[in-house]
Amino acid sequence: MTTSDAASPERRPHVVIIGGGFGGLAAARALARAQVSITLVDRRNHHLFQPLLYQVASAVLSPGDIAAPIRWVLRDQANVDVLLAEVTRVDVADRRLHFAERSMEYDVLVVAAGVGHDYFGHDSWAEHAPGLKSLDDALELRRRILLAFERAEWCGNPDERRRLLTFAVIGGGATGVELAGALSEIARHSLRRDFRHIDPGDARVVLVEGGDRLLASFRDPIPARARAQLEAVGVEVVTGQRVTNVDAEGVQLGQTRIDAGTVIWAAGVKAPPFVASLGGPQDRAGRIVVEPDGSLPGHPEVFVIGDLAHHRHPTRDLGPLPDHPLPGVAQTAIQMGKHVARCLNADRAGWPRPRFAYKDLGSMATIGRSKAVADVAGLRISGLLAWLMWLFVHLMALVGFRNRLVVIAQWAWSYGTFQRNARLIRGSEAPDSVL
C-alpha cells in the first residue's frame, strides 16, 4: 500500500486528502487534471450534505437523500483512490500518515477532516445531549425525538408527560435554529393526528443560546428576525444563559432548570484528536492557525482547509479578522479546497503561491415552512422569499442528480401534506418497550 517508489522517474507526487466533506472533495476535483496520484481517506464511505443533516434528525429526509458514496462521486476521476480508514496520527517530519495498524507516505497532505461539537470540558454531557455531525448522530436524534412522543402517549404521570414533551436545543447557531424550528413543526403539524392520549402540539421546544443573540455570525437585523420567526412558530428562545449541567432529566442553566425528555447539543467546535500531531499552532477549539496560503506553518506541503482551518489573514471580502476564523460553512471549505490546487499548480510552475482569498457568497438559515433568513449579495431578507432562496440554493448544491430529484419529491410531499415519513425508530439501542 505504500506509494513511495522514488526510483521511478515517472513517479507522480502522492497527494493524500483526509476527509471527503466539502473541502476534501473540492480539493480532489480541482486536482482532476493534475499529474498527481491522490488518495482520499475518510472514516465514512459517504460524502454528507451536512447543511441538510437536521432534516434527517427531524424525520423529513432519509439518510440516503443527503449522502452519496465518496467512491461513486469520484468514480470518473482516474487519479483518485478512495480509502475507508481512520487517521490516528500524522508524522509531518517523516511525511507519513498513521492508521491503527498501518501507515502511508505522502508528498502533499490536505487535512480536511472537519470538527466535532465541544461540550466545554463536560464530555459526560454527550450521552444526555447528543450532537449532530454525522448520519449516525442524526438517526440517534430522530430515534430520541420519536420515542419521546411514544413514551408520552402511554405515560400516566402529567409531570413526566410534560417533561417527555419538552425538547431543549443548546446553541443558537444555524444548526440550533433550524432544529428548533423543525421540532416545533413536527409537533404542531406532522404528528397532529397520530396520537390518542396526548396532543403533540403541547410539546415545548426551548432554544438556549449562551450569547445574547441567535445566529451571531449574521448581520443585523437578521438575528432579531430569526428570533421573531422562531417565536411565531412556538419556540421559546432563551439567550444570555449558559448551560451549567446536563443530566438524564434535563438541563440546568444556572438557577433555571429545564426538565426535558430530549436535549440536543448544537454548540461549540472541537478539532479531532489527531490534529494535535500536526504540531502547528492551534486555537482554543484545536483548529490550526494557517499561513495566508492555507498551509501549516513550517510545512508548505501540508494544507489545512475547511472547518479545521483558522484563517485570520486579510481576505478579499472580509478584511482582517484578528480573532475570528472564516465562517464554518460549505462555501469556505470548497473555496479552500480549490485554492490547494492553485497552490500546487503555482509550485509546479515555480511561481509564488497565491494567498487564499475568501469570497463571501452570503449565508442563510431556514426556520420552518416558508420561513427563513438570508444575507446574500448585500440583501438581508427574511420570510417566504428567503425560504425560496434557501430551497433553490440547497437543491442546486445537492450532490448527484438522483438525490436532487428524490429530495424535491420528498419536500414537495412534506410541504403539501405536513407529513414526515422518515419517522422510523431503529437501532439496536431502541428499547423494546415504552412502558
Catalytic residue among 105, 153, 178, 185: 178
- The residue behind cell 419556540 is 235
Instruction: Report the C-alpha gap between 121 and 329 in whole angstroms.
Output: 24
Q: How far is the CB of 100 from a second copy (least distance, A)?
A: 6
Is 105 in the active site? no
Nearer to a second copy, 120 or 154 (CB): 154
Interface residues for a second copy in 336-395 (CB under 8 A)?
A: none
Q: How far is the CB of 387 from a second copy (least distance, A)?
A: 22
Could you say whether residue 52 binds a second copy (CB under 8 A)?
no
Contacts of 197 (CB under 8 A, 6+ apart): 153, 154
Instruction: Report the C-alpha gap between 288 and 299 in whole angstroms.
Output: 12
Instruction: Report the C-alpha gap between 171 and 243 in whole angstroms.
Output: 10
Could you say whether residue 139 binds a second copy (CB under 8 A)?
yes
370: left (phi over 0), alpha (psi -120 to 50) or beta: left
C-alpha cell at 153: 402517549
Instruction: Report the C-alpha gap between 300 and 294 in whole angstroms.
Output: 9
In a 3-state reduction of DSSP, which class is residue 337? helix
Q: Count residues binding a second copy (CB under 8 A).
A: 62
Which residue of 150, 236, 283, 347 would you call a contact of a second copy, by CB under 8 A?
A: 150
* Cα 202 → chain centroid: 30
Q: How far is the CB of 11 from a second copy (least distance, A)?
A: 17
Interacting stretch for a second copy, rule CB under 8 A, among 25-33, 97-105, 162-170, 286-294? Answer: 97-105
Q: Distances in Å between the alpha carbon of 298 and those of 290, 291, 334?
A: 10, 9, 24
Interface residues for a second copy in 11-50 (CB under 8 A)?
A: 43-46
Could you say whether residue 123 binds a second copy (CB under 8 A)?
no
Site string for a second copy, 187-226 (x = CB under 8 A): ------xxxxx-----------------------------
Q: Are 315 and 358 in contact (CB under 8 A)?
A: yes
Q: How far is the CB of 370 from a second copy (least distance, A)?
A: 20
C-alpha cell at 352: 509564488
Neighbours of 321 (CB within 10 A): 15
Catalytic residues: 178
Which residues lie near a second copy (CB under 8 A)? Answer: 1, 43-46, 62-65, 67-69, 71-72, 75-76, 78, 81, 83-86, 99-102, 135-136, 139, 146-147, 150, 154, 156, 193-197, 400, 402-403, 405-406, 409-410, 413, 417, 419, 421-428, 430, 432-435
